[in-house]
Structure 1
Amino acid sequence: MIKIPAQYYSWNAELFIKHLQVFGFTLLAVSMLYLVAANWFMLPQTVQLGIPQVLLLLSAICSLLVVKHDFLVQCLHTICGLMIGLSLAVIGQIYQTGADSYLLFLIWSVLLLPWLYRHNIGIFLLLCIVSQIALFLFFKQTFWGDQYPELFLVCIHLFALIQFYFCIQYYPKLRYLFLVWFAILSIWHMVRFLYDGQGILYFICSFLLLGISLSYYYKNKDTLCSALSAVALGVTFTLIIVKSVGSLFKNNEILELFFIALIVFVWFALITYLLIKFIPHSRFNAIPLAVGAWISGAFFASLMLTFWGNFSLIMGVVFVIIAAYVLKFKRSDQMQYSLFLRQLAYCIWIAGQIAVIFHTVDLMDQIFPIILFQLGMLILSYFLRLHWFFVFIQILGLYATGFVHILGIHSYWSRTSFIENFVYLVLWNYVFYFLILAIKLIKPDEYQRSLLLAVLVVILYSMGLYTLLGKYELVRIEHIAIFTYGLPILWFILFIFLHIQNQFNILAKLILATFAALLIFYGYFDIFICLAVISWALQRQDKLIYAFALISFSLILWFIYYSLDVSFLMKSFSIFISGIMLLLLTFSLSKFKNKQEFST
Structure 2
Amino acid sequence: MNPLEIKPKNQFSPVLFTHSPVIQHLHVIGLALIAVSVLYLIAANWLMLPKIIQLLIPQIFLLISASASVWLASNDAVRQALDGISGLMLGLSMAVIGQVYQTGADSYLLFLVWALLLLPWLYRPNIGVFALFCVVSQFALLMFFKQSFWMNQELSAYLLCLSIWTGLCFIACIQRYFSLRYVFTAFAAGISLLSMFKYCEHYAWPYLALSLPLAFSLYFYMQRMALETSLQVAGLAASVSILIFQITEDALPDSAAGLLVLAALIFAWFAGISAVLMKMLPKTKFAAIPLALGAWFAGIILSSLLLTYWKVFSIAAGLAFIAAARLVIRRTSSLFLRQLAYCLWICGQAAVLAHTELLTGSIALICLIQFFFAALCIFSRMHWLIVLMQLAVLYGLGLAALLDAAGYGNQAYLHFYIISLNYALLTLLLCSAPLWLKSAYRASFSLWILLILAAAAVLQLALNPSFQAEAPPSLWANYLLPGIWLLSFCLIHRRALLQPQLWAIPALAAALMLFGYFEIFILLALLAWSVAYQQRLVQALSILLLVFWLWLLYYSLGVSFLMKSLSIFLSGLAVMLLAHLLAQQNKTAVPGSAA
TM-score w.r.t. length of structure 1: 0.91
Q: 1:84 to 1:483 in 2, by over 3 A?
A: closer
Shift of 1:4: 7.6
Give the count of matched residue pairs: 584
In structure 2, the partner of 1:446 is 440
Moved more, 9-18 or 563-572: 9-18
- The one-character-per-residue Cα deviations of 1:301-322 (angstroms, maximum 9, x if unpaired) are 4331122111101101111111
Equivalences for residues 58-207 of structure 1 within 5 A: 58-65=64-71, 68-142=74-148, 150-195=156-201, 197-199=202-204, 201=205, 203-207=206-210
Structure 1 residue 64 displacement after superposition? 2.2
**TM-aligned CA distance change 1:282 to 1:314, over 3 Å:** same
Deviation at 1:258, TM superposition (A): 3.8
Alpha-carbon distance in 2 for matches of 1:257, 1:37: 55
Match of 1:364 among 360, 377, 380: 360
5 Å matches for 1:450-469?
A: 450-469=444-463
Q: CA separation of 1:175/1:27 partners in 2, compared to 1, >3 Å: closer, same or farther?
A: same
Is 1:431 equivalent to 2:424 in the alignment?
yes
RMSD: 2.4
Give the TM-score normalised by structure 2: 0.92
| Contact preservation (8 Å) 2:295, 2:336 | no
Q: Retained in 2: the 8 A contact 1:59–1:80?
A: yes
Query: Partners in 1 of 2:495 and 2:24 — Cα distance?
Result: 20
What SS is found at the alignment partner of 1:280? coil
Q: Aligned partners of 2:507 and 2:426: how far apart in 1?
A: 21
Question: How far off is 1:339 after superposition?
Answer: 2.2
Q: In 2, distance between residues paired with 1:69 and 1:93? A: 36
**What's the secondary structure of 2:18's corresponding residue?**
coil
1:313-369, Cα deviation, whole Å (9 max, x unpaired): 110111111111111223xxxxxx532221121111111101111111111221222
2:30 partner SS: helix
Structure 2 distance, partners of 1:221, 1:533, is 38
Cα distance in 2 between the residues matched to 1:274 and 1:504: 63
1:246 corresponds, among 249, 252, 264, to 249
For residue 122 of structure 1, report the CA deviation from its aligned partner: 0.9
Structure 1 match to 2:4 = none
Letter in 2 for 1:559: L
Give me the whole-angstrom Cα distance separating, in 2, the residues matched to 1:279 and 1:550. Answer: 38
1:28 and 2:34 correspond: yes
Q: Give the whole-Å Cα distance in 2 for the aligned partners of 1:522 and 1:212.
A: 54
Does residue 375 in structure 1 map to residue 371 in structure 2?
yes
Shift in Å at residue 19 of structure 1?
1.1
Q: Does 1:473 align with 2:478?
A: no
Give the stretch that moved more between structures: 299-308 or 566-575.
299-308
User: 1:253 offset after TM fit, Å?
Assistant: 4.4
| Aligned partner (choices 484, 490, 494) of residue 490 of structure 1 | 484
Superimposed CA distance per residue, residues 88-139 of structure 1 (whole angstroms, 9 cap, x where no aligned partner): 1111111111111222222111211111121111111111111222223233
2:561 corresponds to = 568
**Which residue of structure 2 lines up, in the alignment, with residue 509 of structure 1?**
503
Measured in 2, the distance between the counterparts of 1:146 and 1:381 equals: 48
Distance in 1 of aligned mates of 2:571 and 2:347: 46
Contact persistence 1:5–1:499 (CA under 8 A): no
Shift of 1:426: 2.0
Distance 2:326 2:24 in 1: 45
Q: 2:55 aligns with which of 39, 46, 49?
A: 49
Q: Could you tell me whether the CA contact under 8 Å between 2:10 and 2:434 is conserved in 1?
A: no
Structure 2 unmatched ranges of 5 or more: 1-6
Does 449-458 or 422-431 show the bigger shift? 422-431
Task: Name the residue aligned to 1:271.
Answer: 273
User: Is this contact kept in 1: 2:509–2:521, CA < 8 A?
Assistant: yes
Q: Partner of 1:419 in structure 2?
A: 412
Kept after mapping to 2: 8 A contact 1:258/1:303: no
Deviations 1:156-200 (A, max 9, x none): 2111111100001000111121122212211111111112x124x
CA distance in 2, matches of 1:80, 1:493: 43
Could you tell me which residue of structure 1 aligns to residue 235 of structure 2?
Answer: 232
Task: Give the Cα–Cα distance (whole angstroms) in 1 for the partners of residues 290 and 515 of structure 2.
Answer: 46
Q: In structure 2, which of residues 396, 401, 404 is the aligned counterpart of residue 405 of structure 1?
A: 401
Where in structure 2 are the equivalents of 1:211-360 lying within 5 Å? 211-249=214-252, 251-330=253-332, 337-360=333-356
Quote how far apart the aligned CAs of 1:508 are.
5.2
Opposite residue 473 of structure 1, the aligned amino acid is: F
- Deviation at residue 147 of structure 1 after TM alignment: 6.9
Return the alpha-carbon distance in structure 2 between the equivalents of residues 504 and 67 of structure 1: 41
> What CA distance in whole angstroms lies between the structure 1 residues aligned with 2:458 and 2:169?
35
Contact 1:289 1:343 in 2 (8 A): no
- After superposition, the C-alpha distances for 1:462-494 in whole angstroms (9 at most, x for unaligned) are 211111121333861644422331121221232
Using the TM superposition, name which of 473-482 and 569-578 deviates more.
473-482
For the 8 Å contact 1:304–1:312, the answer to whether it is kept is yes
Tell me the distance in 2 between the aligned counterparts of 1:477 and 1:235.
Answer: 54
CA contact (8 A) 1:371 1:401 kept: yes
Change (3 A) 1:150 1:387: closer
User: In structure 2, how many angstroms separate the alpha carbons of the residues matched to 1:4 and 1:481?
Assistant: 35
Secondary structure of 1:473's counterpart equals: coil
Asked whether the equivalents of residues 317 and 352 of structure 1 are also in contact (C-alpha less than 8 Å), the reply is yes
Sequence identity percentage: 39
Residues 414 and 584 from structure 1, CA distance in 2 versus in 1: closer, same or farther, beyond 3 angstroms? Answer: closer
Q: Deviations over 1:508-566 (max 9, x none)?
A: 533x3443234323432222222222222222322222222222111111111111111
Distance in 2 (CA, whole Å) between partners of 1:382 and 1:567 is 45
Distance 1:295 1:479, change over 3 A: same
Aligned residue identity for 1:212: A
Query: CA–CA distance in 1 between the matches of 2:526 and 2:153?
Result: 53
For the 8 Å contact 2:106–2:147, the answer to whether it is kept is yes
Distance change (3 Å), C-alpha of 1:339 and 1:403: same
- Find the partner of 2:211 among 197, 208, 211: 208
SS at match of 1:446: coil
| Amino acid paired to 1:303 | L
Preserved CA contact (<8 Å) 1:301 1:354: no
Distance in 2 (CA, whole Å) between partners of 1:272 and 1:542 is: 32
Conservation of the 8 A alpha-carbon contact between 1:504 and 1:592:
no
User: Which blocks of at least 5 consecutive residues in structure 1 are unaligned?
Assistant: 331-336
Contact 2:515-2:571 within 8 A present in 1 as well: no
Structure 2 residue matching 1:415: 3-state secondary structure = coil
Among 550, 558, 576, the alignment partner of 1:583 is 576
Name the CA distance, whole Å, in 2 between partners of 1:146 and 1:404: 40
SS of 1:235's equivalent? Answer: helix
- Asked if structure 2 preserves the Cα contact closer than 8 Å seen for 1:4 and 1:440, the reply is yes
Worse-superposed segment, 277-286 or 367-376: 277-286
What's the counterpart of residue 333 of structure 1? none
1:448 offset after TM fit, Å? 1.1
Q: Distance in 2 between matches of 1:156 and 1:231?
A: 21
